[in-house]
Amino acid sequence: MTLWQYLLTCLLVIGPTVVASIQFVDKESFGKGDLGKALAAIIIEDRLWITLIASILTALLGILSTILFRPYLVQRKFRESLMDGIFEQVLDNDRNQARITLFKDVGFFRRWWYRFKDFVGLLRSSWPKVDVNEFLRICNYCRYAHYIQISGRWGNHHKNSKTYFYVNKQTSDSCQGVAGQVRQREEMIVISLPRIDGLDLEKAGKDHPDVSEFMKRGYISSFKHLKSINKLAPHIYGNIISARAGKKKIVFVIDSWATKSPFRRAGVRALSTYVKQISASYRD
């Protein structure tokens, strides 16, 4: 949603609240001071007109919000139909064996919150062996940190996940997962990994051949991060979506648990067409 849409939503909540609150204003509602009494007297005297004007403004805001929100709702419905098409054409219409996720850049305040969390977490994991070089490495890691988080998910697995990935815009070496790599490189990535979803990771350990290969080719640098992933997919497709004429970047990722990878030549060709259509749905 745009800034204007967010502001209208807030006003649509405030308007009815004001209309309802006016009815309960009395002479001591704003304190016993002269200014409070004068303000209460004005509201009580013109209660009817204030209520009428606030109601009319709320109704006009409702009409305006419908006009402004309609393109957003149409675009979202169009994207829903595209996701349904991907499941039908590429993923055998099996929502238990595949999941589609869209990631977006986190906002300014959340980015700094995640940086703080990473900084504290890295210090704790290195303590008490933190020397000057290690401290500077942690500072540089957090200094260039950007993050992407889930903005939409389709499929039957972990729809309400709060997963986010680290992105370093200076280098792709430390970017987390396929989603982080796609965001940094801004290019398509297609990989097939060993199946480790049936392994007990605690017993197997990070030195297990399949686990180490999964981490290396799946761009997962931390064994702790690997264990935190809810469901490890062996087949992954990732691509970049340029929204709003290239000003906004969105990461498009498909995880598949099918026996055979759906991301062969025909599947990738079909997905390239869908990616263009999804990009178009964000432009206005």
* N-terminal to C-terminal alpha carbon distance within the chain: 11
What confidence score (pLDDT) does residue 20 get? 66
The residue among 41 and 113 whose pLDDT is bigger is 113
Side-chain half-sphere of 251: how many Cα atoms within 13 Å? 31
3-state secondary structure of 26: coil
Amino acid letter, residue 188: M
What confidence score (pLDDT) does residue 1 get? 53
Per the CB < 8 A criterion, the answer to whether 64 and 56 are in contact is no
- Is the pLDDT at 180 greater than 90? The verdict is yes
With tokens 């979202």, the residue in question is 76
Share of the chain above pLDDT 70, in %: 82
Closest listed residue to residue 178, CA positions, set 103, 84, 241: 103
pLDDT band at residue 6, thresholds of 50, 70 and 90?
Answer: low
- Is the pLDDT at 132 greater than 80? The verdict is yes
Closest listed residue to residue 90, CA positions, set 239, 282, 243, 248: 239
Amino acid letter, residue 261: S
Residue 142 tokens, joined: 């957090």
Per the CB < 8 A criterion, the answer to whether 158 and 96 are in contact is no
What confidence score (pLDDT) does residue 43 get? 67
**What per-residue string of b and e applies to 175-189 under the rule 16 or more CB within 10 Å gives b?**
bbbbbbbbbbeeebb
Beta-bridged to residue 154, according to DSSP, are 100
Pairwise CA distance, residues 191 & 217, whole Å:
8
Name the E strands within the chain.
98-105, 145-154, 164-168, 189-192, 235-243, 248-256
Mean local confidence (pLDDT), 252-277: 94
Pairwise CA distance, residues 125 & 222, whole Å:
12
pLDDT band at residue 230, thresholds of 50, 70 and 90?
Answer: confident
Side-chain half-sphere of 15: how many Cα atoms within 13 Å? 17
pLDDT band at residue 128, thresholds of 50, 70 and 90?
Answer: confident
What confidence score (pLDDT) does residue 283 get? 60
Q: What angle do CA 106, 153, 143 make, to 5 degrees?
A: 20
Amino acid letter, residue 58: T
What confidence score (pLDDT) does residue 181 get? 95
Each residue of 57-106: pLDDT tens digit?
A: 777 777 777 776 777 778 889 999 999 999 999 999 999 999 999 999 99
What confidence score (pLDDT) does residue 231 get? 83
Cβ-Cβ contacts under 8 Å for 245 (sequence gap 6 or more) = 283
Pairwise CA distance, residues 272 & 80, whole Å:
17
Residue 58 tokens, joined: 């709320």
Mean local confidence (pLDDT), 157-166: 84
With tokens 């982080």, the residue in question is 180
The residue among 125 and 91 whose pLDDT is bigger is 91
Q: Please return the burial class of 100, using the count of CB atoms within 10 Å of its CB with bins 0-12, 13-18 and 19+.
A: buried
Q: Is the peptide bond before 128 cis (omega within 30 degrees of 0)?
A: yes
Mean local confidence (pLDDT), 127-135: 81
What confidence score (pLDDT) does residue 222 get? 84
Per the CB < 8 A criterion, the answer to whether 227 and 201 are in contact is yes
What confidence score (pLDDT) does residue 197 get? 82
